[in-house]
Amino acid sequence: MEGMTMTKIFEGIEQPKLDWAKEWLKETKKLYINGEWVNSAKGEVIESINPANGEVLGKFQSAEKKDVDKAVAAARHAFDHGPWQELSRKERAKILRQISSLIKEHQAELATLEALDNGKLYTEAYKDDVQEASDIFEYYAGWTDKYYGENNPVEGNFLSFTTRDPVGVCGQIVPFNFPIDMAAWKLAPALAMGNTVVLKPSSQTSFSAVRLFELIDEAELLPKGVINLILGKGSIGSYISRHMDVDKVSFTGSTVVGKQLVHDSADSNLKLVTLELGGKSPNIIFSDAPDLDGAIERSFYALFTHKGEKCSAPTRLLVERTIYEQVVEKIAEYANSYKCGDPFDPESDQGAQISKSHMESILNYIEIGKKEGARLVAGGQRDLSGENGKGYFVRPTIFADVNNKMTIAQEEIFGPVLCIIPFDTEEEAIAIANDTIYGLAAGLWTNDVSRANRVARKLQAGMVFINKYGCYDFASPFGGWKQSGWGKEYAIHSLQSYTKMKAIWMAY
């Protein structure tokens, strides 16, 4: 971090807390179990690498199965016997709002850790990730007393009603691309409904979760055992999903791992599983798009912000042939103007990929695209302009003349690579869009209201965006179809997965 300098001050937001982070990261981080920071069973330590320079950022202890057992036992006791269940809904709401305030108060700290650990821009971490993490706790605080059962109009001399009860102990496994944001996506609704939690962040990006738990612990907001933090390798996530005393698992990550977690659950206690998995989302621009320049600009930034490491990113751009070359040329201009660099340099447009291995995977996909005959019109190589030329930066890469059967059009690259595919008819566009194992998101741009509704209904995706790709709000469900996952995040739909319904009958 010593080589990081800012060429100018960030405008409109707090400045990064780099000196604070440097001191904070000196200490090896521990697990948080039953309200205490504890060493792991074996004391194994994992190093986290700063993607912007390839150097060790900090260290944390790696959990073993015994540590998970202790965390689950603490969460079980807190759920079954602790004061958590005795709190009123208003008291739970108050705690969630206090957590929201803590995140906001320490926004610069958390964003600094996120940018250092993940490689994304500090501005992205500050404005998007940490801000949303704060907001979602505030949002679900308002739901604590608004989600409940109902009376059932049954026949006969009976009173029948349903209750919505908390699921119990929730295992929550968080990905590397939005570490604190996704942690908040899972923690807030689970706590709002009265559950207890064992949270496991990615081994590549654990520090913002550690800091969040520190803040909650220091403020003494929750009874012991209500939230527990397990750090470590991916195999520990699999053990959480197999654990007989975990009642529900929520996972965000790759489809391959998601399938494994389903098997883990089936082999144990058939716990409830919700999955937010991969995507290869299509984005269709028709020739009658109401603002073609705006559609091109939004289509570019919807993919290339957060260095393309987004499950819902519009990685396949389908363009009507009459405007095809115009769109390709403009998109390439955007890509060529992008500056990869230090996440703490306000002039940087794109940060570093999460790891060396992931960067190499992206570069390998780029080579596959070339060999399969796609036309490379921008990028296509590693960018060595980062700090000391050692960062894991990949130039924004644009492939034109892509056939949807190509590997780069079918497999999730999870990086700054866009495939542009031409089409001639509406029917062809829909067929190409749906020709994927995924179904997370889709977009289309047209000035024809009838076409907009017709195409949106035929697209096989959990979210469809018309004339602006990437519209997200806590009040609207987030989640996909097909191999993009099970269940929904956000809104009332997330609460459904953190409760279980009970029907009660009373004769009179």
Contacts by 102-108, CB closer than 8 A, 24 or more apart: 102/215, 102/216, 102/219, 102/221, 103/130, 103/133, 103/134, 103/137, 103/180, 103/184, 103/212, 103/215, 104/131, 104/134, 106/211, 106/215, 107/14, 107/131, 107/134, 108/13, 108/14, 108/15, 108/16, 108/17
| CA atoms of 67 and 229, how far apart (whole Å) | 10
Number of continuous H segments (helices) and E segments (strands) in the chain: 17, 24
Catalytic, out of 114, 132, 276, 320: 276
Catalytic, out of 311, 320, 412, 419: 311
C-alpha separations of 505 from 147, 162, 500 in Å: 20, 9, 17
471 is catalytic: no
Query: Tokens at residue 253, please?
Result: 């990550």
Residue 404's SS3 state is coil
Helix (H), strand (E) at residue 108: helix 107-118
Q: Is 369 left (phi over 0), alpha (psi -120 to 50) or beta?
A: alpha
| CA atoms of 220 and 296, how far apart (whole Å) | 48
- What stretches of 153-310 adopt beta strand conformation (E)? 158-166, 169-173, 196-200, 227-229, 248-252, 272-276, 282-285
Q: Is 414 left (phi over 0), alpha (psi -120 to 50) or beta?
A: left
| CA atoms of 232 and 226, how far apart (whole Å) | 20
For tokens 């990086």, name the residue: 415
For tokens 């829909």, name the residue: 430
| CA atoms of 373 and 379, how far apart (whole Å) | 16
Phi, psi of 471 (to 5 degrees): -110, 115
Q: Answer for the pair 340, 383: CB distance below 8 angstroms, yes or no.
A: yes
276 is catalytic: yes
| CA atoms of 230 and 31, how far apart (whole Å) | 6
How do beta strands 227-229 and 158-166 pair?
A: unpaired
Residue 280 Cα to chain centre, angstroms? 15
Task: Evaluate the CA torsion angle 184, 187, 190, 193 in order and state its sign.
Answer: negative
Q: Provide the annotated active-site residues.
A: 276, 311
